[in-house]
Amino acid sequence: MNRWIASSIAGLGLLFALSAGAADGHVFTFRIPGEPETLDWNKAHTPIETYLLMNLMEGLIGVDADLKITPALAKSWKLSPDGKTYTFNLRNDVKWSDGVPLKAADFLYSWKRLLSPMTAASYAYFLFDIEGAEGFYKGTVKDFSGVGVKALDDYTIQVKLVQPVAHWIYIPSFWVTFPMRQDVVEKGGSGWATPGRMVSVGPFQLESHDLDSRIVLKANPNYYGVRGNLEKAVALIIRDDATALSLYESGKLDFLTDIATLDLKRLAGRPDLKSYPYLKTGYLGFVVDKFPLSNVHFRRALAMSIDRTKMGMILHGGQQPANSFIPPRMLGHSPRMGLPFDPVKAKNELRASGVDMAKPPLVEFVIANWDKSMVVAQFIQGEVKRNLGVDLSIQPFDNKTFRAQLDLHSYPLYLSSWSADYPDPDNFMSVFLSSSGNNRLGWKNEAYDRLVMSARRMQDLRGREKAYGDAQKILLEEDAVLAPLYYEPNMALVRPRVQGLELNPLNYLYLKKVNCGG
């Protein structure tokens, strides 16, 4: 028996007790598939934190379901004629959950902390387009006063960029840039982002966190905006997909994503099964400092040995085969990009690699221990064995351990996905810059870096598109450091009693407009 299933059965009664009240009154209950790595929004970097942080906090701006920019903590902003200076005017009616007014200094502290090497934030590079920011991160700019972020007064923030950046207005919508209180962090130390210590400015505040069990958010009485009738939002931490579906079917969950593949097949056509647009690419990552993935011919052989057209058939969630790392409906996407499925050419590349197939290597393949990951991994394992004669050894871990293994480059092959943090191709291509904290391939390429950095500063769409095409050619074909596998919508079960729920293509679940009936 799968160890997650066994543990879930043992704790089923407890989960039902924990979720009691989900269908009562003004409580909204949803599932997250694992324990968050952190609720410190400077450091958070996984999808598990998303639904929590986007309801605890807000940024200078927001992004709606149509991917349009909306005012949030900034009521207005302007861009200088040269495209390099943003001036944000904060609302003067925003208070933290403890009643303290929000000030421009809270943004400056957050951004300084994000850029500090001591924070070790995966997303520090998001601010590198600001004057002096990369230098501060690397230690060549010693004082934060040398970074192009200033508080002109308590309610005005000025940001100076090195050069105009086409997508930059989206950056302040992402959680790592959200404001942070210096007094709270310094007083709370490493435990500041916990119940009783954390303060927030979003529609909810953190009430309780039971490790590996549940996280409860309660309505923030000091929230400046309009909110629906929710008094609480309860996130149940449920690793097993079957257990999560049982809780939904029995009325103990109001909202459920990450549905098991066979369940999606069975649930097809149900009115409470919703499909939401999602800017996401599933991919196979090759860690280039690990044998045999250190050999470019071996990487190409793997990429061309997998028939991506079968992804929708095995996953049942509307998946489409991926060739380009940049997803459809985004500048730079091309169905002609990448290495095609071709077993004959794959075998030629394998021979060119010089790997001794008389003693074929056993390649370790690390994944998160989730249903979808296991289904995809077993499919890839079969394809590679059938078309190349290479054995893959699947190594599944819980999400937190899996992420740690990626950071350590422990395994030569990993299965992952990237979903957009902002709706611009730069967000996909900048993941694998040499300076990116999210680049877990062990790979650097100066030509790739130049193309991506030049594209983000172009105003001409055709020029940007060409630059991204050239960069993807390096990423997917010449160096072949990853293989795109599939694009997919966000499939979710939503109980009829829930009204006003918004899940945008960035996978941001907004609960501030939700009204729940009894």
Instruction: Return d(Cα 44, Cα 52) in angstroms, integer.
Output: 11
| Mean pLDDT value of segment 502-516 | 94
Q: Taking a C-beta distance cutoff of 8 angstroms, is the pair 248, 256 a contact? A: yes
Query: 280-487: which CATH topology?
Result: Dipeptide-binding Protein; domain 3 (3.10.105)
Q: Taking a C-beta distance cutoff of 8 angstroms, is the pair 149, 158 a contact? A: yes
Q: Helix, strand, or coil here: 13? A: helix
Which of 13-27, 171-185, 321-335 has the lowest average pLDDT? 13-27
- DSSP code of residue 309: G
Give residue 332's region: left, alpha or beta (phi > 0; psi -120 to 50): left
Domain boundaries of the chain, sorted by first residue:
3-57+202-276+493-516, 61-181, 280-487
Residues 6+ apart with CB under 8 A from 435: 125, 128, 134, 449
Higher-pLDDT residue of 265, 24: 265
The three-state DSSP-derived secondary structure of 128-149 is CCECCHHHHHHCCCCCHHHCCE
211: closest CA among 53, 43, 5, 18? Answer: 18
Please return the burial class of 3, using the count of CB atoms within 10 Å of its CB with bins 0-12, 13-18 and 19+. exposed
Q: Helix, strand, or coil here: 484? A: strand
Instruction: Return d(Cα 230, Cα 207) in angstroms, integer.
Output: 14
Instruction: Return d(Cα 406, Cα 410) in angstroms, integer.
Output: 7
Please return the burial class of 150, using the count of CB atoms within 10 Å of its CB with bins 0-12, 13-18 and 19+. middle
pLDDT more than 70, % of the chain: 95
Instruction: Return d(Cα 181, Cα 199) in angstroms, integer.
Output: 8
pLDDT at 312 over 80: yes
At 148, list the tokens: 């192009």
pLDDT at 446 over 70: yes
Residue with tokens 């004629």: 81
Q: Helix, strand, or coil here: 79? A: strand
pLDDT tens digit string along 453-465? Answer: 999 989 889 999 9
Instruction: Return d(Cα 85, Cα 106) in angstroms, integer.
Output: 20
pLDDT band at 15 (very low <50, low <70, confident <90, very high): very low
Q: Taking a C-beta distance cutoff of 8 angstroms, is the pair 159, 83 a contact? A: no
- The residues facing 281 across adjacent strands are 418, 487
Please return the burial class of 299, using the count of CB atoms within 10 Å of its CB with bins 0-12, 13-18 and 19+. buried
pTM of the model: 0.88
Tell me, what amino acid is at 298?
A: F
pLDDT band at 53 (very low <50, low <70, confident <90, very high): very high
| Mean pLDDT value of segment 88-100 | 98
Element (H, E) at 448: helix 446-455
- DSSP code of residue 88: E
Residues 6+ apart with CB under 8 A from 367: 373, 374, 376, 377, 394, 395, 396, 397, 402, 414, 415
Identify the CATH homologous superfamily for domain 3-57+202-276+493-516: Periplasmic binding protein-like II (3.40.190.10)
Query: 61-181: which CATH topology?
Result: Dipeptide-binding Protein; domain 1 (3.90.76)
Query: What's residue 518's pLDDT?
Result: 67
pLDDT at 21 over 70: no
Average pLDDT, the chain: 93
pLDDT more than 90, % of the chain: 90
pLDDT tens digit string along 383-435? Answer: 999 999 999 999 999 988 999 999 999 999 999 999 999 999 999 999 999 98
Query: What's residue 6's pLDDT?
Result: 33
pLDDT at 228 over 60: yes
- DSSP code of residue 154: T
Question: Measuring CA to CA, how many Å separate 112 from each of 108, 148, 182, 324, 390?
Answer: 6, 11, 11, 35, 48
Higher-pLDDT residue of 213, 517: 213
Query: What's residue 24's pLDDT?
Result: 59
